[in-house]
A and B are shown apart, each in its own frame.
Chain A
Amino acid sequence: MAAAPPVLRVRNLTVEFATDAGIVRAVDDVSFDVAGDETVALVGESGCGKTVTGLSLLRLVPEPPGRYAGGSIELAGRDLLALPGEALPAIRGRDVAMIFQEPMTALNPVFTIGTQMADVLRQHRGLSRSKARAEAAAMLAAVNIPDPDRRLDDYPHQLSGGMRQRVMIAMALSCRPRLLVADEPTTALDVTTQAQVLAEFRRLQQEFRTAVILVTHDLGVVAETCTRAIVMYCGSIVESGPTAELFRHPRHPYTRGLLESVPRVRAERLPELPVIPGRVPDPGRLPAGCRFADRCSRVQSRCRDARPPLQPVGAGVPVSVACFNPW
């Protein structure tokens, strides 16, 4: 367990969406902590609730159709879900910042990088125009962008994808947030650029001591970047623990299946890739018991009757798993 006190404490978070098919629970009773020096992965496949959980940490889920149906999100001692809406803009960017998969949609195409970065600094840190520009250049230098003074006058389209994502990281860290939420920050990048940006990410996390939540589907990225991982399936946490332990000994059959089925560069190719049979159930028609039961190789009759709670595995191992019959 991390020694630093938690910066973020999420308790029983439940987020629902109104759809044509009725109310769908995208996040269902999710609880976790993140300490000040941690990089934590929220990992899972599409529709597992990882992105909605990430957006919730900035209270960015659109309401309606979304609705925070329960729980609390305590950031540095304050419950974001209890705050009035007017209080949020001052918190977003300053206490908690977010990076998205496609930086082009997060940057405004008609303003220069420098203008956009300086705006954030003037708003949240009350810097003067010239100080804000100098600080923006320093942040670009911190994320290893060559020639930062000149880059400030560039428009987003003039930068490559990797450079744009570095700008987003620089912008997100410029107000020294306590928590940074990064949603698939390298998924749109080429593999060699991804490796550079991830290395940058690790270095900055050390340097700025920002707690990071990395939302991703890529277990390789998790292994290389995150100290702890939270595996989600159908809106709930199925397993969480230190990345090394989780990957060495996955206890939930879903975590294990996911790790086995990841295509990876191997010494010898396998005649057949291991698969998880079936598919993720429709969020409108979830099974009554364990939501993984229909795809699980270790399913027992009780798995179909009741949902297994997330519980510590005990024996001094800092792993929790939601399974009646774990590995």
Chain B
Amino acid sequence: MVTLPPGAGTGPLLDVRGLRTYFPVRGGLLHRVVAQVRAVDDVSFTLDQGTTLGLVGESGCGKSTLGRTVLRLRPATAGQILFDGTDLARLSPRELEPWRRRMQLVFQDPYASLSPRRTVGQTLREPLDHHGIGTPTSRRDRVAELLDVVGLSPAVLDRYPHEFSGGQRQRVGIARALAVDPDLIVADEPVSALDVSVQSQVLNLIRRLQVERGIAFLFISHDLAVVQHVSDQVGVMYLGRLVELGPARRVYSTPRHPYTQALLAAVPRVEGSPADRVLLQGEVPSPLRPPPGCAFHARCPRVMEVCRHEAPVLKDVDGPGAGHRVACHLY
């Protein structure tokens, strides 16, 4: 494995190959490992600089674990996380440190992720101090610039998180992520806690950052409409696996996997839903006991015999150039 110096990569910014994150389940008297939860199971995708991959799926599908594993906030059980050509999965915590600057995380609940005892100014300055970015005086200017980018007035510098609304707090969370000028931001449900009228303001801000600053996003959300608005590519996860991956335009206009189709049909629509929509039966099975074969087969309206014993792999539909891949025996 050749390790390239930072910035020398010529391929995609992020190239994830065969990534697995398993959690041991302990039980019994001796607290032995009795089972493994395959939270992320053989996931591969690439992400180019300045583009966004939206990850959708229901609770427990592994999308958040995938995001955290990519950032090495959780250890990978197997697979490669090639960030600008370097496999992060193989680095020690010390070797990882310089890479941390280039990757940031934005959380769902900005209130829980901001220290209540620090002013906004202190919160934004902390990553600059930690990574030794700029001189002490230039850091003050940098903080003011960050506030401006996310649409907050410099007057808020000396305020504490509790003095802000949810939308403003999320802007602070985004500003903190931007402080180190990252190449990649993993945003985990960044607008789910916000009210509708504020949600769209923050989504527009994220779109603007993609375009103006060339930041790549791994955007994780359960909300298909939100994901459509920010994503170039979309990945749909079910029980730890990617079941569909492709350009957002294609996945939304011609979803191929029956799960993606059902997910899209289930979204309550302001204009009302078609009367003939198919409702999925049952619920997501426990990741502790995933069904054999295709994990979706027990709920699938188009299940076939092969689905019960053979797990489908991702393959190209609409030809190899379209980049639209589906893990389903129908194709």
Contact = CB atoms under 8 A, between A and B. Distances in A.
A273 B230 CA distance: 10
B268 A273 contact: no
Contact of A224 (B207, B225, B273): B273
Contact of B268 (A221, A269, A279): A221
A258 B168 CA distance: 19
Residue picked from A221, A266, A273, most chain B C-beta under 10 Å: A273
A265 B264 contact: yes
Contacts of A269: 228-229, 248-249
Contacts of A247: 270-271
A47 to B, nearest CB: 9
Given A196-B280, A273-B229, A279-B165, A191 B270 contact: no
Contacts of B270: 219-220, 223, 247, 259, 262, 264
B225 A195 contact: no
Given A193-B283, A199-B279, A264-B225, A276 B197 contact: yes
Given A261-B199, A265-B228, A279 B272 contact: no
B262 interface: yes
Given A45-B197, A196-B279, A270 B229 contact: yes
Nearest to B225: A263
Nearest to B199: A263
Given A224-B272, A224-B273, A273-B200, A192 B266 contact: yes
Contacts of B248: 269
B225 A265 contact: yes
B89 to A, nearest CB: 30
Contacts of A192: 58, 262-263, 266, 279-280, 283
A273 B271 contact: no
Contacts of A223: 268-272
Interface string B175-215: 00000000000000000000111111101100100000000
Contacts of A196: 279-281
Nearest to B226: A263
B235 interface: no
A217 B200 CA distance: 15
Contacts of A273: 200, 203-204, 229
Nearest to A244: B272
Interface residues of B, number: 44
Given A190-B284, A269-B248, A274 B200 contact: yes
B253 interface: yes
Contacts of A198: 268
B201 A265 contact: no
A198 B165 CA distance: 31
Given A224-B273, A263-B229, A272-B204, A195 B266 contact: yes
A275 B226 contact: no
B171 to A, nearest CB: 11
B206 to A, nearest CB: 11
A53 to B, nearest CB: 17
Contacts of A257: 197
A311 interface: no
A158 interface: no
Contacts of A272: 204, 207
Contacts of B197: 45, 257-258, 261, 275-276, 279
A261 B196 contact: yes
A247 B269 CA distance: 11
A266 B195 CA distance: 20
Contact of A279 (B167, B267, B284): B167
A259 B267 CA distance: 16
A220 B268 contact: yes
Nearest to A279: B165
Contacts of A194: 266, 268
A199 B277 CA distance: 11
A257 B197 CA distance: 8
Nearest to A48: B195
Interface string A236-279: 00000000000100000000011101111111111011111001
A279 B164 CA distance: 11
A162 interface: yes
Given A190-B222, A221-B268, A224-B273, A267 B253 contact: yes
Residue picked from A198, A219, A268, A275, most chain B C-beta under 10 Å: A275
Contacts of B196: 45, 217, 219, 258, 261-263
A269 to B, nearest CB: 6
A33 interface: no
A124 B30 CA distance: 49
B115 interface: no
A267 B273 CA distance: 15
A218 interface: yes
Given A263-B226, A265-B252, A279-B165, A190 B58 contact: yes
Residue picked from A192, A217, A267, most chain B C-beta under 10 Å: A192
Interface in A136-188: 160, 162-163
5 nearest CB pairs, A to B: A220-B268, A190-B58, A273-B200, A45-B195, A195-B266
Interface of B: 58-59, 165-168, 195-201, 203-204, 207, 222-226, 228-229, 248-249, 252-253, 262-273, 279-281, 283-284
Interface of A: 45-46, 160, 162-163, 190-196, 198-199, 217-221, 223-224, 247, 257-259, 261-270, 272-276, 279-280
Given A192-B266, A261-B200, 15 more contacts: A45-B197, A191-B263, A192-B58, A192-B263, A195-B280, A196-B280, A218-B268, A220-B268, A223-B272, A257-B197, A262-B196, A263-B228, A263-B229, A269-B228, A279-B197
9 contacts: A190-B59, A191-B222, A192-B279, A193-B58, A217-B196, A224-B273, A274-B200, A275-B200, A275-B204
